[in-house]
Amino acid sequence: MEMKIELLADGITKVNLEGRLDILGAQQIDLHFNVVVASHRRVIVDLEQVPFLASMGIRTLVIGAKTIKLKGGRMALLKPTPDVEKVLTGTGTDTVIPILHDLEAAISSVSG
């Protein structure tokens, strides 16, 4: 699992994940991801290159979203694959972290 940071306009941070977000993948990014969510308030997590998501990956995302919310910020998930989105909706994660399939919509979601 790889993680790259992209700084967008208006203080928005895009976290580009690449690889499986399974237990091992979550372990690989947890520290770096936690540093990013602790230091940024508007975060878009791009899941387009994430072919797999399991419960430990959801844990990483939810804890990250909670951390950002505590600071009055917002997080959104961008372009999950159909199978990954099914995991997110099946666990109700989509009701607490917005899922968008368009970058502009994701930017709007975390702005304001």
Q: Which residues bind other proteins (CB under 8 A)?
A: 22-24, 52, 54-56, 58-59, 62-63, 65-66, 69, 82-83, 86-87, 90-93, 95-97
Neighbouring CB atoms inside 10 A of 14's CB total 20
How far apart are CB 101 and other proteins at their closest, in Å?
18
Sign of the C-alpha dihedral, residues 78, 16, 27, 65? negative
Could you tell me the two tokens for 56? Answer: 């430990």
Q: Given the complex with other proteins, which of 6 and 83 has the nearer CB atom? A: 83
Q: Given the complex with other proteins, which of 78 and 84 has the nearer CB atom? A: 84
Residue whose token pair is 């998501």: 53
Phi, psi (rounded to 5 degrees) for 26: -65, -40
The torsion of the CA quartet 79, 85, 88, 89, rounded to 10 degrees, works out to 120
How far apart are CB 40 and other proteins at their closest, in Å?
17
Q: Given the complex with other proteins, which of 6 and 74 has the nearer CB atom? A: 74
How far apart are CB 11 and other proteins at their closest, in Å?
21
